[in-house]
Amino acid sequence: MDVRILKLVHGQILPQLQDAEAARLEWLFQLVRCTCDLQSEPDAMAGELLEHVLAFDALKKSLMDTWQTIQGGRQLGVDDWLALAYLAKFKSVLKLQWDDGYKLIFDHFPALGQKISQVQEFIEGIPFAAAAALLEKDWEGNGKRPGFEMTALTYVMACGLIGIFGSSRLYQKAVECLAFDKAFLVVVLAGCCFKVSAIASRVDLGTWTDTQYACMSVLDTFGHLGETAWG
């Protein structure tokens, strides 16, 4: 999941939120952005990333409230789904790329490495799978809320990167977003979900319509544009 796509989702959702909700999402987005940029610019990004992880303790209570909402099977806000997606993305970056350089970087910046490890430990307690089950239910009953499809698809995609999967019905909802009457960013996000091989393997591509394949083709076209800003 490209951070540029996350940035577009972030920009769409933030104006809908109250100040406290927006501040939490902004912090989590910057955590993901800095972590993704750390390998290419370790000296430049280490200090900024450390500032973000040092502030993590201030967010724990609100995140714990989200966990309790999930465990209680109650409806989450669009900001909660995006917050969960950011945390799953953060986990995936370290999980998939740790051996490619993060361990060496954190050895060089021990204070940063220690705080990142604490954040990782907290994230391990997040009920991502329970949230995926709740998302399916929420999508069926409340999927028309402004911004919901974007945040739901972002969560589905991020979970696929860390090996968390939902039922076939959850992925069918994502497939239904491959439609020309959907917002362009929704179509892009749905297509990105099925670019994750572990997610694609859970759907029967033989049942897709010509329109759904055409939407994937549009995504492939934009994917070849290199450093495009995606709008």
Rounded CA separation 76/59 (Å): 17
pLDDT, position 222: 59
Closest CA to 56 of 12, 128, 114, 127: 114
Whether residue 96 is predicted with pLDDT greater than 80 in this model: the reply is: no
Instruction: Using DSSP, state whether 230 is helix, strand or coil.
Output: coil
Buried b (16+ CB within 10 A) or exposed e, 183-217: eebbbbbbbbbbebeebeebbeeeebeeebeebbe
The pLDDT assigned to 220 comes to 72
What are the tens digits of pLDDT across the range 207-227? 999 999 999 887 776 554 444
Question: For residue 43, what pLDDT is reported?
Answer: 86
Each residue of 150-209: pLDDT tens digit?
Answer: 999 999 999 999 999 999 999 999 999 999 999 999 999 999 999 898 999 999 988 999
Overall pTM > 0.85: yes
Q: Where are the domains of the chain?
A: 3-223
Q: Can you tell me the distance from the alpha carbon of 110 to that of 197, in angstroms, rounded to the nearest whole number?
A: 35
